Amino acid sequence: MLQVLLRRISGNLSSLNCTYAKHFKCYTTGVKKLLETGDVESNNKSTTQHETELYPNKPTDGQLAKQLEVTRLVWHPSPGMKKDEVLGHYKKLSKFRLTSLVVITTMAGYAMAPAPFELSTFIMCSLGTGLVSAAANAINQYHEVPFDSQMSRTKNRVLVTGKLTPLHSIGFAVTSAACGIGLLHFGVNDLAALLSAANLFLYTSIYTPMKRMTILNTWVGSVVGAIPPLIGWAGCSGSLDIGAYILCGLLYAWQFPHFNALSWNLRPDYSRAGYRMMAVTNPDLCRRTALRYTFAIGLLSFMAPVFDITNIWFALGSLPLNGYFCYLEYTKALENGLVRTPPMGWLSWERFRCNTDCKNDPDNCISERLFQVMADLLITEGYAAAGYEYVNVDDCWLEKHRSPNGQLIADRSRFPSGMRALSDYIHSKGLKFGIYEDYGNYTCAGYPGIIGHQYEDARLFADWKVDYVKLDGCYAFPSRNGKGWPVYQIYAGIRPNYTSIKENCNLWRNYDDVQDSWVSVESIIDYYGNNQDLIAPNSGPGHWNDPDMLIVGNFGLSYDQAKTQFAIWSILAAPLLMSVDLRTIRPEFKEILLNRKIIAVDQDPLGIQGRRIYKHRGIEIWSRPINPIVGTFYSYAIAFVNRRADGTPSDISVTLKELGLISLNGYVVEDLYENVDYGILYPSTKIKVKVNPSGVVMLKAEVYVDAKYPNSYKYVFSL
């Protein structure tokens, strides 16, 4: 009900954020999705995270390199294969299931052509097309090894894992292509062979590189998928007519709802690998395109009997299914299209908590005055210019009871102008307005929750032009825990249903509330490092893991510790939500929060969450792939963290190759805090950094390309 309601009454909220913390918080930002988390409930955690060392002994260079499985893009030599494994490996190299579908559509085209059916030609046509398809898939995998290694769906492919070498792939592709085109040329006809060869070229030389350049790759890929029935038709009749093109058009149009739905579920993978897909870069276009081409399928289905390709029952039989697909695509927005990079702003909770004593502490109580002042400071002190755009009201803004007609009421003594006036004030500054509620009977501080009032509250927030809603989970119904505790399943060894979470939330909390202490920040860092294989793949444009607020500039962190939190949060592609008194923050902490270079890392449009790639005796290295990408090589942000407390800085020495930086062109390396330019370094270059206790050194390594002689099309067609 709420999903339909909010699409009708809103469109205002700019992002949706579900946060699961100690009380299973669901911070929802964005009115299009506001309160779509309807069944989010509370659940207590029962498991404590324990730090584990990855290495019991000092690692060798080889061990360190092995640890870089996420970021190191290399081919390994193929081990000896058993005879019974060879067929399986080559089946995987050919993408056997995909090739089978290509053959089936070729068979369909052959069977529907208005010409006599010849079994031998039918077999030759099917076999030849299958061999060419297998060759195309092998070449595709050859080109995409570095990117396949970044994707959960493809990281176990035979070239990525080294079960076959690139030479195997090329040899297999050349042999299969030659045999396939030869069979079609000599055993079928020239037209079928020409179409097959053209499709091989289109798939390997146009579509494959376009995937990393532009979303137009989907249209080109749809042509590739639509040609096989033409091959079958031509193989049977020796020519192409209107019937062939209608059949081709049906398959072309089908590619969009099929692939757009598939790519939607693989957004984190595509984002991490740097592929330009509609589902990643333009979710609303993704939905509209799927809807548009589903209509086209319906139209073509009725054209088929007109041209005597099939009978009217085909069109009538497909009508209910096409109608249902159209309904889903129209009513089920795949995403609200918001927060393509992690949101940035200011939040009241950690610094000001639930201080409602405006009589004795008027400057620090939760009131409209506080939020107006913070909005002003975001502008005048340069925070807004650096990207901080949200001003978010947290708990304790409400009256203790709803109005007689059930409406939420802002505390009239502390918010005398009302929330709409506060929203208008913040919007007048060019900023965005966020608010807090709870999917329970009460908020965590005991104010009215939204249960039983979802419709009214959604309409009210839309009327107030709220941009961001933080939806907490205190006092929720235990009876609905089956739907409300998905993030906490991790503690029971169960994979949370992140697919469902991402459909309802733009960001979500995974762990405890941050407290104003280094111990708290460390525990969050440990949680993200220890659980990164489960957590990181779910982060990407439009949906972010949230390690909680930045406490930089408060009382609990030293200068070095504050730098560490800011650096790690940027590596994690985390929301940057400050909770600090902007009136009194010391200059050195303000400088951290306004570090444009580190903010750029956090806001990198690829949206790939970084990972901890090394941990030993209190020393950690965190790495994140970022733009620019040159050829098959990412640039990287790297954080060297000293978790020791022995009172003296630690030296860390490592080669770029050991960090997964293997471009022979080298990397332009700079220190993002100290603004030190290391110049151009190469994979074999050893860098040495000195890191203070509980401190960090953060580097950016940008792939170097000689501007005069760029060695890759990717330099020209940069993301």
Got the DSSP string for 662-713?
Answer: --TT-EEEEETTT--EEEEE-TT-EEEEEE-TT-EEEEEEEEP--SSS---H
Average pLDDT estimate for 9-24: 42
pLDDT digits (tens, 9 = 90+) for 336-361: 678 989 999 999 999 999 999 999 99
Q: Do residues 309 and 645 make contact, with C-beta atoms less than 8 angstroms apart?
A: no
Cα distance between residue 47 and residue 248, in whole Å:
56
Q: What is the pLDDT of residue 148?
A: 84
- Say which of 39, 424, 513, 560 is annotated catalytic: 513
pLDDT digits (tens, 9 = 90+) for 607-633: 999 999 999 999 999 999 999 988 668
**Strand duo 432-438 + 390-392: pairing:** parallel
At residue 153, the pLDDT reads 83
Tokens 């009513």 correspond to what residue?
A: 331
Catalytic choice (395, 467, 472, 604)? 472
Residue 594 has pLDDT above 80, yes or no: yes
Reading the block at residue 194, the tokens are 């020409």
Does 709 have pLDDT greater than 60?
no
Question: Is 677 noted as a catalytic residue in this protein?
Answer: no
Map residue 493 onto helix, strand or coil: coil
Answer for the pair 394, 437: CB distance below 8 angstroms, yes or no.
Answer: no
% of residues, the chain, pLDDT over 70: 82
- CB under 8 Å to 356, separation ≥6 — which residues? 365, 366, 396, 411, 414
Q: Which residue has the higher pLDDT, 235 or 87?
A: 235
* Reported confidence tier of residue 707, pLDDT bands at 50, 70, 90: low
**284-298: pLDDT as tens digits:** 788 888 888 988 888
Let me know if 513 is a catalytic residue.
Answer: yes
Map residue 651 onto helix, strand or coil. Answer: strand
Residue 537 and residue 268 in contact, taking contact as beta carbons nearer than 8 Å: yes
What is the pLDDT at residue 126? 96
pLDDT at 17: 55
Report DSSP letters for 112-177, one per residue: HSSS---HHHHHHHHHHHHHHHHHHHHHHHHHTHHHHTT-TTTTTSTTTTTSS-HHHHHHHHHHHH
**How many angstroms separate the Cα of 660 from the Cα of each of 657, 672, 679?**
5, 19, 18
Does the pLDDT value for residue 27 go beyond 50?
no
52 sits in the region (left: phi over 0; alpha: psi -120 to 50; else beta) called beta
The confidence band for 81, taking pLDDT boundaries of 50, 70 and 90, is low
Q: Which residues pair with 630 in a beta bridge?
A: 633
Q: Count how many Cα atoms sit within 13 Å of the Cα of residue 640 in the half-sphere of its side chain.
A: 20
C-alpha distances (whole Å) from 535 to each of 28, 510, 520, 544, 615 are 19, 9, 19, 10, 18
pLDDT the model gives residue 490:
55
Q: What mean pLDDT value characterizes the chain?
A: 84
Q: Is the pTM of this model over 0.85?
A: no
Work out the percent of the chain whose per-residue pLDDT is above 90. 60
When mean pLDDT is compared across 74-88, 337-351, 393-407, 522-536, the lowest value belongs to: 74-88
Cα–Cα distance for residue pair 598/306, rounded to 1 Å = 61
Instruction: Check residue 525 and give its pLDDT.
Output: 98
Q: Is the pLDDT of residue 119 over 90?
A: yes
Q: Which residues contact 30 (CB under 8 A, 6 or more apart)?
A: 13, 14, 15, 16, 17, 336, 338, 339, 467, 468, 469, 506
Q: What is the pLDDT of residues 542-584, one digit of tens each?
A: 889 999 999 999 999 999 999 999 999 999 999 999 999 999 9
Residue of 151 and 139 predicted with greater confidence: 139
Q: Is residue 651 pLDDT above 70, yes or no?
A: yes
- Structural domains of the chain in order of their starting residue, each with its CATH number: 85-330 (1.10.357.140), 342-476 (3.20.20.70), 627-714 (2.60.40.1180)
Sign, CA dihedral 128-134-135-136, equals positive
Residues 6+ apart with CB under 8 A from 656: 662, 667, 669, 681, 682, 683, 684, 685, 687, 701
- Kindly state the DSSP code that residue 59 receives in the 8-state scheme: P
pLDDT score at 342: 98
Region at 675 (left for phi over 0; alpha for psi -120 to 50; beta for the rest): left
More confident residue, 75 or 690: 690
Helix (H, G, I), strand (E, B) or coil at 295: helix
State mean pLDDT over 658-667.
92
Decide: helix, strand or coil at residue 408: coil
DSSP state of 540: B
Q: Determine the pLDDT at residue 584.
A: 98
Token pair listed for 5: 């309601």
Laid out side by side, the sheet with 611-616 consists of 611-616, 619-630, 633-642, 696-703, 667-671, 677-681
Burial (CB < 10 A; 0-12, 13-18, 19+), residue 492, is exposed
Question: Can you state the angle between helices 119-143 and 96-112, rounded to 10 degrees?
Answer: 150
Q: How far is 234 from 437, CA to CA, in rounded Å?
A: 63
**Element at 534 (helix H, strand E):** helix 532-535
How far are the Cα atoms of 54, 68, 613, 655 from residue 64, in angstroms, in the given order? Answer: 10, 7, 8, 10
pLDDT at 493: 58
pLDDT at 524: 98
pLDDT in the model for residue 31: 40
| HSE-up of residue 358 (Cα within 13 Å, Cβ side) | 14
Rounded-to-integer distance, Cα 474 and Cα 143, Å: 50
Q: 490-530: per-residue pLDDT in tens?
A: 555 567 778 778 878 899 998 999 999 999 999 999 999 99
